[in-house]
Each structure stands twice: as C-alpha cells, then as structure tokens.
Amino acid sequence: MPRRRAVAAAVAVALAAALAACGSGAGATSAPVTLRLGYFPNVTHATAIAGLEKGILAKDLGPRVTLRPQAFNAGPAAVEALFSGALDATYVGPNPAINAFVKSAGQAVRIVSGATSGGAALVVRPGIADAAGLRGRKVASPQLGNTQDVALRYWLSKQGLKTDSEGGGDVSIVPQDNAQTLETFRTGQIDGAWVPEPWVSRLVKEGGGKVLVDERDLWPGRRFVTTQLVVRTAFLRQHRDVVGRLVQGQVDADAYVNAQPAEAQGVVNAGIAKVTGKQLSPAVIAASWSNLTFTDDPVATSLSAAARHATDIGLLQKVDLRGIYDLSLLNAVLAARGEKEVRAS
C-alpha cells in the first residue's frame, strides 16, 4: 500500500508538471466535469472495460468528474459522436482516428494513449485455402472504413483481388455488426470475415471457421495498433487535467489486465455481457486474450502505415498526420511509474 500511494503521488506531481509546462496549468478547473467516454464491447477494448468495471477510471478521475460510458459497435460511429459533441473521448481503432483527424483538417482529435495491439484476423470456411479461394465470395467487415475493413481491403488488393465500397469486385465485402457476422457465417450467407476479438475466436470455436490471416503476421515485430484512446481537442484544451487523469486510469487499467489476466478475463467478460446480453465462453475469452497485447504504446509507426493502406485502396486521400498525437500526459504518467516513454513516430 505505501508503494501504491508513492506511485500515485508521483503521478500527480508529474501530471501537474506536464500541465504547467503546457501553459501554467491550462485546462485545470475545480468545477464539476462530465466526461463522456466511448468504447466497444470487444476484448480488444479490455483495458477500457476493465477500467470501467473495476472502477479504476472513475477512481483516477476523482469525485468532481462524472464518467458516462457509451458502447459502440465500430469506430466510424464513435467518431461521428465525437464530431457531434456527444462524446468527449473514445477508445477506437487507427483508421477512424485518422479519418477524424483528416476530415477536421487536423483540428478535431488527438491520440493520447495506446491500449491494445493485435487481436484481428481473417476467418474463413475450412475449404478456403488461400486468397484465390475468396474470388466470387462474400466476406464481412464490421463497418465500411473501420480498421478491420481497411485491413481486409488492403490485403485483398495485395493478393490481386479488387473490391469496391458498394460490395462489388472480385470479393464482395459486406459491412455488418459483429454479432450478425457470427450468425451469417454459421448459416452460410458469408464465407469469411475480418474481425477483432472476441469474434475471431467465436467464428473459429462456434462457427467452425479457420484463421486464414492473423494480422499480426503482416506487421514488423507482430505489433500494430488495434485500440487507442482519442479525445476531442476542444475537451483536451478545456480540461487537460481531466484528460491527464483519464490517461492515468488507462495506464492503471492496463497494469491491472496484465498483472491479473485470469481475474481480468472474468471482469471483461461480465462487462461485455452487460452490453451484448451474453457472456463469452471461458474458452473463447482465453483464446482471445492470447492473441492480444495490452500496451499503452500507440505503436505510432503502424498508424502511419494504416493511413497509407487506406490511401492505396481509395478510402482516404494522402494525409499528413503530424500533430495527431499528444503523448505528453501519457509520458508523465509512465515516467512517474519508472516506465519508458513512448514516441509519436
């Protein structure tokens, strides 16, 4: 307990220093604040779910901040909520964050922390052995332009297969909710899907599919950003101290899921059930967990690569992502914990 108090005190001092360095404590206020936080009921958002279910985020935010979480199915919908002012921050994949940054000319959002790496794959019917076997078939993704959708379209293009946003081309891509994807896969309406966990493991264990492409195998060191914490720039400027405490909560939640994986799996499973109405089987959540790395590092190099991929397939114009990261608050928290800083490039 003394060690925990010492770390908490060090984090508070480091955050205060970071705020002061950004303008004499700019964004700090003693007035009550409501923080509306988005997340997905997926294992890839385990740090967010655990942080909510264990009360870690609420505790770190403190009594003057009212935390209001909201679940989403995919990134584009969460980004629209950010744009409309219905959300202040959200856990989201790389491509929706890129789209938000680009559509707002670099003004609307900032990435303040990573959360998860890995945990996405293309699952297909057992009879499909390679990319050529997908020609003329239907394959699902969570939503047009979301992270897995871009990964699927880019991979298919590298295999010489054409797609378009209307579901045409050599492979017909059908955007649909992940829960619907499991049902359509079971009934034979689709032949595969590029999805995040726990849907990868569910399609394998409950749908009888097989993994054709583990996305980790497509990236250097098998590391790529799957989930990161994004905030509205206006909220960050107005309530920088609150965002600092939110980042501290992310780091504490990350430490929890890594230190106590068995307990955390149960906590996250219960959190998913609150939204979806059904718990995952222990086998599914354990399999999902093994495919993920929970890390505060946003793996910035993979974000720029993801932007190039979206450009290559025609879903995004060539972009300049300079300024998309503000990792100063994260690095203040990590420094206080004696951990290495992370970089924005």
- How far is residue 59 CA from its own chain's centroid? 22
Q: Which residue has the tokens 């896969």?
A: 185
pLDDT grade for 28, boundaries at 50, 70 and 90:
low
pLDDT value of position 25 = 44
Distance between CA atoms of residues 225 and 229, nearest Å: 11
What's the rounded Cα separation, in Å, for the pair 81 and 87?
5
Strand partners, 230: 90, 111
Model pLDDT for residues 141-151, shown as the tens digit of each residue: 998 988 899 99
Q: How confident is the model at residue 1 (pLDDT cuts 50, 70, 90)?
A: very low
* pLDDT at res. 157: 97
Checking DSSP bridges between strand 192-196 and strand 225-232, what pairing results, if any? unpaired
Contact 296, 342 (CB under 8 A): yes
> Could you tell me which CATH class the domain 120-221 is placed in?
alpha beta
Overall fold of domain 2-117+223-336: D-Maltodextrin-Binding Protein; domain 2 (3.40.190)
- CA–CA separation, 19 vs 241, rounded Å? 7
H or E element that contains 245: helix 240-259
Token pair in block for residue 122? 């293309």
Asked if 192 contacts 212 with a C-beta cutoff of 8 angstroms, the reply is yes
Sign of CA dihedral 323, 325, 327, 329: positive
Alpha helices in 85-132 (DSSP H): 94-103
Rounded to 5 degrees, what are φ and ψ at 307? -65, -40
Q: What is the pLDDT of residue 325?
A: 97
Nearest to residue 263, comparing CAs of 39, 44, 54, 4? 54
Task: Read off the pLDDT of residues 93-117 as tens digits, 9 standing for 90 and up.
Answer: 888 899 899 999 999 999 999 999 9
Domain positions in the chain: 2-117+223-336, 120-221
Smallest Cα–Cα separation from 193: which of 157, 152, 160? 152
pTM over 0.75: yes
∠4-6-11 over CA atoms, to 5°?
95
Is residue 61 within 8 A of residue 241, CB to CB? The reply is no
The whole-number pLDDT of residue 19 equals 46
pLDDT value of position 31: 86
**Is the model's pLDDT at 200 over the cut of 60?**
yes
Is 120-221 in the same CATH topology as 2-117+223-336? Answer: yes
Distance CA 102, CA 120 (A): 24
